[in-house]
A = this chain, B = another copy of it.
């Protein structure tokens, strides 16, 4: 989450280009030569700015996480004062529009974890923190509904949430996110 001070134009171009390359092709499959070529930047510049590929991977995930959180909070906390119960369900609307607009390859953080098994990889904190944030946010929203067992309910909604992303990326269930939202409503209402 620690946003870098200022990015030079070339560095900014690299981070823009990398967002699509890493997500679409996977991290290992994208080499630094391809990144430099696609961004219209020399490898020298790339290494002067970032120092290593791993650092670029870290920034890729941190920036994507930041965009994702902005998207979610913009949907959930939109003006109009929705009820706490409604705000919980808006999380799933946020996921639905994110998946539709962004990409069909599932959760970038789940995918990144699959590619980076090393617990000491510099990008791991960014990966862990995204999921922790989603869970914490759900917990807060559920708590505000006054539901019984808010932690347990939030955990169930979290799994529906992540499962919906998996189901959508495998294209095995039609209307996965909408179905997850329906199930979430049922679980939530049963605890109210």
Say how far A42's CB is from chain B's closest CB, in angstroms: 26
Main secondary structure of the interface of A (DSSP, over half): helix
| A75–B128 CA distance with the chains assembled, in angstroms | 32
Copies of this chain present in the complex amount to: 2
A: number of interface residues (CB 8 Å): 44
Decide yes or no whether A161 CB sits under 8 A from chain B.
yes
10 contacts between A and B (CB under 8 A): A26-B117, A128-B170, A128-B172, A159-B166, A159-B183, A160-B160, A160-B163, A162-B166, A183-B187, A190-B190
Give the B-binding residues of A (Cβ under 8 A): 24-26, 28-29, 105-107, 110-117, 128, 131-132, 135, 152, 155-156, 158-164, 166-167, 169-170, 172-173, 176, 179-180, 182-183, 186-187, 190
